[in-house]
Amino acid sequence: MARKFLYIVAGLIVLVFATFVALRLFAQDLTEVAFVPSAKFTDQPPLEPSVYGDPKMWLAHPELGEENAARWLPQGFAAEGETVNAAVFFVHPTGLVSRDRWNASLNDADSRERSRLFVQGMASPFNRSADVWAPRYRQAAVGAFLTDAPEATQALDLAYEDVEQAFETFVASVDGSQPIVLAGHSQGAFHLLRLIRDHVADTPLAKRIAAAYVIGWPVSKERDLPKMGMSACAEPTSTGCVVSWISFADPPETQMLMKAYSRRPGLDGQPVGEAASFVCVNPITGNEGGSAEGRANLGTLLPDISKGTGTLVAGIVPARCGEDNLLHIGPAPDLEMGPYVLPGNNYHLYDVTLFWANLRADFARRVEAWKQQP
C-alpha cells in the first residue's frame, strides 16, 4: 500500500512537472486557445451619427453625475481644492474576455462593468478636471491581440470606428479654448495612437494637446511618433508630447508580450518588430528615461476588487526605464495588488494604478505648463 501511494505521488510530481514545462514551452499556443474567439467575425453597422450626444453612451461625461466612473477617488484621499481646466478624452482598455464573439455588444453587462471599473481606476487621476470623457465602445476581445487572423483586424477596426465617432462628439462639445489631454490604456492606447494620426496630427487641434498619455501599449519612435506629429515628453513640463510606459517586475519575461505587440503594424503601416525602440517616460519623474526610487512614488492604488474601491500607499514602488524600453519596478512589490499580475512578472493591468498619484500630479503640471506657453 505504501509503495502504491509513493507511485501515485511520483506520478503526480511528474504530471505537475510536465504541465509546468508545457506551460513554459507552449504558453503562446495555450494563451491563444484560451482567449482567441472561435466564432466568425460578424460585421456591424456604424452607430447612429448622434449617438454620442447621449451622456449614457459614456462611462465618464460631465453630465453623468454620480454615474460618472471617473469621479471616483480612493478611500481616505483628500481631493485638492484647485481644479485643472482641461478637457480629457480617455479610452478604456479591454473588458471583453469572451471567445464567442470578436466585439462586445453595448448591451453586454459583464464587459461594461469591467470597463466601468477600468475607468474608475485609470481615468480618476484626471478628475481634477470636471471635463473628463470616456466613451463606451464596441471594444475588441482580448484575443484580437493574440492572433494574426484577419478577424482580429476587423474587430479592432470596428472598435476604432466607435472611438473615432466619440472623439468627434467630444471635440465638438468642449470649450474651444481649453487644452486637451488624451489618455488611454492597452486597447484604449492602441486606438488613441490611430486617433492622433487621423485627427490631430497636422491639424489646428494639435496646438491644443497638453499631453497624450498612451500607456500600456508601445509607442514606436520610428513607426509611430513621426505620424503622430509628436515627440516623447522629455521633461516634466514638456507639452504637446507623448507619455508612455509598460510595467514589469524583475526579472521580466517579455517574449509573449512583444510578440503580441509586433503583430500590429506601426502607424506608418510597417511592421513594428520585436526589437523596436519604444517610448518610456518615467511616471515618477516625468522625464523620458531614467530612474526613481520608490520613496518618490506619491501613491500606488491598491484595489479592493470585491468592493470596487481601493486605497493609496505611498513610497513603495520604484520606476526605471531600462535599455529594453520597459518600465522596471524592481522585484515584485510586497503589496496586495490583487490576482491580475500576468505571467512573466507582467504588471500590465497595473500600469496606471502603480503610479496613480504621480500621474495625477503629472497631468496637472503639464496642463499648467501648456497654459504658460507664449
The answer to whether the beta carbons of residues 298 and 319 sit under 8 Å apart is no
pLDDT of 34: 59
Q: Which of 293, 185, 334 is nearest to 245 (CA)?
A: 185
Q: In terms of domains, do 27 and 69 share one? A: no
Interhelix angle 255-262/27-35, rounded to 10 degrees, is: 60
Mean of pLDDT values over 67-77: 94
Q: In terms of domains, do 285 and 188 share one? A: yes
- Hey, what's the cell of 62? 460631465
Distance CA 141, CA 159 (A): 10
The answer to whether the beta carbons of residues 177 and 80 sit under 8 Å apart is no
pLDDT digits (tens, 9 = 90+) for 6-42: 333 333 222 222 223 333 333 444 345 457 888 889 8
The answer to whether the beta carbons of residues 192 and 159 sit under 8 Å apart is no
Task: Flag whether pLDDT at 307 surpasses 80.
Answer: no
Residue 171, sorted as left (phi over 0), alpha (psi -120 to 50) or beta, turns out to be alpha
- Residue bearing the bigger pLDDT, 337 or 155: 155
Distance CA 276, CA 223 (A): 9
- Hey, what's the cell of 22? 508545457
Q: In terms of domains, do 229 and 319 share one? A: yes
Distance CA 80, CA 66 (A): 19
Global pTM value: 0.90
Q: In terms of domains, do 280 and 332 share one? A: yes
pLDDT of 2: 38
Mean of pLDDT values over 354-361: 98
Q: Strands 300-304 and 309-313: what pairing? A: antiparallel
Total count of domains within the chain: 2
Q: In terms of domains, do 65 and 31 share one? A: no
- Peptide bond before 150: cis, by omega within 30 degrees of 0? no
Q: In terms of domains, do 278 and 321 share one? A: yes
Q: Which of 237, 236, 229 is nearest to 207 (CA)?
A: 229
Helices (H), the chain: 2-25, 27-35, 109-122, 150-173, 187-199, 225-228, 255-262, 356-371
Q: In terms of domains, do 123 and 101 share one? A: yes
- Residue bearing the bigger pLDDT, 62 or 14: 62
Structural domain that includes position 15:
1-35
Interhelix angle 27-35/2-25, rounded to 10 degrees, is: 80
Q: In terms of domains, do 1 and 70 share one? A: no
pLDDT digits (tens, 9 = 90+) for 245-303: 999 999 999 887 777 788 789 999 998 876 679 999 999 999 999 999 999 999 999 98
The answer to whether the beta carbons of residues 368 and 286 sit under 8 Å apart is no
- Residue bearing the bigger pLDDT, 228 or 305: 228
Q: In terms of domains, do 148 and 26 share one? A: no
Q: In terms of domains, do 310 and 366 share one? A: yes
CB-based contacts of 256: which residues, under 8 Å, 6+ apart? 27, 28, 31, 343, 344
Q: In terms of domains, do 331 and 354 share one? A: yes
Q: In terms of domains, do 18 and 68 share one? A: no
